[in-house]
Structure 1
Amino acid sequence: MNTMKKTLSLLTWGTLSLLACSCASNQMEVTPGTPVFSNFTYTGQDAVYEQNPLASDEFYTPILQGCYPDPSICKKGNDYYLVCSSFAINPGVPIFHSTDLVNWKQIGHVLDRPSQLKVEDTGISAGVYAPTIRYNPNNDTFYMITTQFAGGFGNIIVKTKDPMQGWSDPIKLNFEGIDPSIFFDDNGKAYVVHNDAPEKALYEGHRVIKVWEYDVEKDQIVPGTDKVIVNGGVDLSKKPIWIEAPHLYKKDGKYYLMCAEGGTGGMHSEVIFIGNSPKGPFTPAPENPILSQRHLNADRPDKVDWAGHADLVEGPDGKYYGVFLAIRPNNANQVNTGRETFILPVDWSSTFPVFEGGMEPLKAKLKMPAGVTNQTGQNGFFPNGNFTYTEDFTSDTLDYRWVGIRGAREKFISTSPNGLTINPYDVNIKVVQPTSTLFYRQQHLNFTATTTLNYIPRSETDLAGITCYQSEAFNYVFGVTKKGEEDVLVLQRTEKGNSTVLASTPVKETRPILLQVKATGDQYTFSYSTDGKTFQPVGGTVSGDILSTNVAGGFTGAMIGLYATTGNDATAQ
């Protein structure tokens, strides 16, 4: 057994011992209908990391596992900042900081106030799309520009002098389309590029890239300056689809336009163009795409796929690097962890940048930039690879990894020495509105998540427990409710909005009770324990298919939720 596996085993047994002690302790006072969660443990056990231990000069990619798609990156001096799409997650747009591109700390969310984020009534895959973060050295200001499909916003921009200190309220921008990116030239001028519809669509997926001049003083595009700089993609005669996620760069006096092409699925890729002006004309590189996995053997081992939607930055060693999204499908080729943030070195020694290894099967680990020490999972840095995350919910502030969907988490939770109290809403997990659920992203193909629940349901409309959630229409609910005077555990599957109770079982000792979900690729099991030692499955092994993007559609990965409701419809059999 290697060192990582030994560590995981010790952590897991140690945690279960603590949970067993918790179950053996005196029951704490609980308000009926109001659950208290404690001792949450998440352990990832993916074979690819067990089979590829790190050397002292290596690190793992993806650097952000789980639903952290559409990455964008910028730098100021030695500081790097990275943001990702958040869709209907609240707060919106997670932001990370690094000084070496290997070790990342989440420093918060860009859109963390009600005035900035209005996603309360939107589907899980609407909301905030494809942010771009940029630093403008001409006025020492950071900008984040994005599309918010909710709250009447559309395309917006926010700014700050210090990303550690929060961001301005949104400024609504006067153009249509999606995926905006801002570029600051060294002469003080600024430009916005974005995806838009063509004047006349020639085929399904036909899009264009537009550029506008941007008035930095007024924080608005300059009316009448828009121009189409890419029509369709690299070669319109081949009917390329979904040219999007454009970014402008300047190097050696030339302007480069990099875009995603092919749609954010199996045909995804990254392409590059060159021009003498930010407004073009732009000529595609002779060798496009510069990043893709679409041409490779579908049955390759440890498959990484869907690579694209990239952004470039100069690294601490003077070499360029590119962050991008990709997916790691499970054994059934399902995409449950969603689109994740990967990184690769980029060779820009010639005219055009090329992702090193970007057209070959992507590997799990890379060489670190010279002089960097891998601290992932330590000293507050985000973990990756296989790891165990524990949370007792006794701190006054929650880890940034815990989020709500649509509604702010602060509206329904509180923490104390006893753990996390959820004040349940009267709606269940299937509504397109805020629910009383605190979410943690699924970050591995194989994982175990366990929590202790202290709860007294009052009726059949009360339920508290765990949800595995892909969207409001695709999810599992595993929780404690009532059937008559009896406490019962139920397992409910919802597919396309239609719910079925797969199994239920009476439980006499429900205070406290341990609830656990375990995934081995596509196989999920939901279990419980009343003694902290022995777990009993409910409903046997079930498919994780409804937790995948392949089946559920949309753009998000699966999430594990601590859930409570007074509007339960999962009735025990």
Structure 2
Amino acid sequence: MENSLATQTIRYSNPILPGFYPDPSITKAGEYFYLICSSFEYFPGVPIFRSRNLVHWEQIGHVLDRPDQLDLTDRKSSDGIYAPSLRYHEGIFYMITTDVRGSGNFYVTATDPAGPWSEPIPVPYGGIDPSLFFDDDGKVYVTAQQGADYDSHVIQYEINIATGEAFSEPQVVWRGDGGPWTEGPHLYKINGMYYMMSASGGTAKEHREIIGRSEKPYGPFERCPEPILTHRDLDHPIQYLGHADLVEDTNGDWWAVFLGVRLTGEGYSVLGRETFLAPVRWKEGWPYIDNNEGSVALEMSVTRLPDAAPAAPGATLGEGRDDFDGEHLGPEWIFVRNPAEGCCSLAETPGHLTLRGQAPGLGEVGQITFAGRRQQHTQASFTTCLLFAPSAEGEEAGLCVRRDEDAHYEIGLTRSGNGNRVTARLTIRGESRIVHEGKTEAEQLFLRIEATEKEYILSYSEDSQNWSSVVAGPARALSPEDFVSKMCFTGVVIGLYATGNGRPSGAPARFDWFEYRAAWR
């Protein structure tokens, strides 16, 4: 970030959270802003970050970090936790969200945003994307999406914030602009007017943010005649803009956080939907962000930030080496669904991450053993040192780049027949094929996956000096745009995995370190 006294501008880069961090929601409490994102089938759920200046973010944990809060053991990919909303009121933080195909809509509370957060409190109505609004008169409203496609609309009702009990029947308050998927609604009160803001058009090329205003919380809402945020008519490096949330800083300036996608020239992105930041301009009582103007850019210039003091980025840009020397994994590490008890340990062999494979493999829905972190750069390499002595047929461990159970590439050590083999596998559109098998006597292997804009290159070494590249898989096949029958809402996660391929593995897989290196952002 640069601060030029001559031009009185401050520059920052978008996205502020690179990689798979969609559906951002933001609130302010004291000197910090706090931000959360969707997490879908990954556990812990709902990553939470803090920042003084809206640009440099530090992850302080996850909101849903206990199995009694969130049970994802049978969730398919792109189910689970959708579009959480974060609010702060009278010393308490509130996070409301949807567990899709699970417990439905609920909220949790905390006095410290780093946790612990409460047990879930269910709310009775709504489909997905619930949000909370605390009015000046003490009333609390749930605003949520309901219906599908062109029938999507927004309902609203009053609740007892202590119990989640509804004080009123839900009313339809917003039908959007006639496009499909009116979702992600938020209700605000600004300068005495109520504003109803939502996304429309679906989370792809037609995605946009729209808004209405009223003198009453239930409307009727006068709709702004044009979207307040979209790039749907632009040939621009950032697309799919929408699903926004607004926040005011201590200077009285307004800002928006929202999702967007940095598409390649061939129209896909393995990084998925990322979090962007832009200032809000008020004109004739409407908040404008970027209606096909191109002002939301990869490099932004603003006159001021809430706190312009330089600050180093936190773990969100995630380059570097993890030697697994701590008592706990860092907050950037996540699991596919709730991990099975005892499958992951930093204490079993100090200085190593020990994984114990379960019966399900990477292509199955279940408690697979997979500890990973989001890919945040298109050009990057991921390397690890594996110590593994499989003794039973099918025992396997290694390094994987994963979109979901239908799309993943891995290279690892496998017990097959009467020996161990270095195995590389590509799974594309649900069909898996082994593309390399080579005998080895080594019980220590160095594994590497290199990402470029067009492919992932899988390599291994027995001495960390001489590397053999065994296969390159197309990057497009791991992008959300390459789904077949079920929409994919996540980006690529790089993971360390172990499996018994049909039964629990008896041999532990020990990873000495993991290294993430970006070629450039």
TM-score > 0.5, shorter chain as reference:
yes
Amino acid at match of 2:493: M
Aligned to 2:312: 376
User: How far does the alpha carbon of each residue in 1:543-564 deviate from its partner, in whole angstroms, 9 at most, with x for none?
Assistant: 1222110113310111111011
Say whether the 8 Å CA contact 1:93–1:109 is kept in structure 2: yes
Aligned to 1:315: 249
Identity %: 36
Structure 2: unaligned runs, 5 residues or longer: 5-9, 504-521
With normalisation by structure 2, the TM-score equals: 0.90
Amino acid at match of 1:290: I
Aligned to 2:324: 393
Cα distance change of structure 1 residues 163 and 418 upon mapping to structure 2, 3 Å threshold: closer
1:220 CA drift (Å): 2.3
> Aligned pair 1:535/2:479, yes or no?
no
Aligned to 1:516: 448
User: How far does the alpha carbon of each residue in 1:39-62 deviate from its partner, in whole angstroms, 9 at most, with x for none?
Assistant: xxxxxxxxxxxxxx9677432211
Structure 1: unaligned runs, 5 residues or longer: 1-52, 199-203
Distance 1:243 1:284 in 2: 13
Aligned to 2:187: 248
Matches within 5 A, 1:131-210: 131-137=84-90, 140-151=91-102, 153-197=103-147, 204-210=149-155
The correspondence for 1:405, drawn from 317, 332, 336, is: 336
Aligned-residue Cα RMSD (Å) equals 2.0
Say whether the 8 Å CA contact 1:331–1:521 is kept in structure 2: no
Deviates more, 1:83-92 or 1:525-534: 525-534
1:494 CA drift (Å): 1.5
Aligned to 1:85: 38
Distance 2:319 2:262 in 1: 19
Structure with greater strand percent: 2
Distance 1:67 1:129 in 2: 13
Amino acid at match of 2:451: A
The count of corresponding residues between Structure 1 and Structure 2 is 491
1:337 CA drift (Å): 0.5
Cα distance change of structure 1 residues 220 and 522 upon mapping to structure 2, 3 Å threshold: farther
Distance 1:546 1:168 in 2: 39
Distance 2:131 2:241 in 1: 19
1:361 CA drift (Å): 6.1
Cα distance change of structure 1 residues 465 and 186 upon mapping to structure 2, 3 Å threshold: same
> Aligned pair 1:112/2:45, yes or no?
no
Distance 1:445 1:373 in 2: 29
2:421 is paired with a residue of what secondary structure? strand
Cα distance change of structure 1 residues 165 and 88 upon mapping to structure 2, 3 Å threshold: same
Structure 1 consecutive aligned stretches of length 4 or more whose deviation exceeds 4 Å? 53-56
Cα distance change of structure 1 residues 370 and 247 upon mapping to structure 2, 3 Å threshold: closer
Say whether the 8 Å CA contact 2:63–2:117 is kept in structure 1: yes
1:351 CA drift (Å): 0.4
Say whether the 8 Å CA contact 2:58–2:316 is kept in structure 1: no
Say whether the 8 Å CA contact 2:232–2:292 is kept in structure 1: no
1:142 CA drift (Å): 1.6
Distance 2:492 2:340 in 1: 18
The correspondence for 2:386, drawn from 448, 453, 476, is: 453
With normalisation by structure 1, the TM-score equals: 0.82
User: How far does the alpha carbon of each residue in 1:377-436 deviate from its partner, in whole angstroms, 9 at most, with x for none?
Assistant: 3xxx2344xx62210112111101111011137641111433111111122111111111
Distance 1:442 1:422 in 2: 21
Distance 2:183 2:130 in 1: 9
Aligned to 1:230: 174
Cα distance change of structure 1 residues 359 and 272 upon mapping to structure 2, 3 Å threshold: farther
Distance 2:256 2:228 in 1: 11
1:525 CA drift (Å): 0.4
Q: Which has the higher contact order (CA 8 A, sep 6+)?
A: 1
Distance 1:107 1:370 in 2: 20
Distance 1:568 1:543 in 2: 28
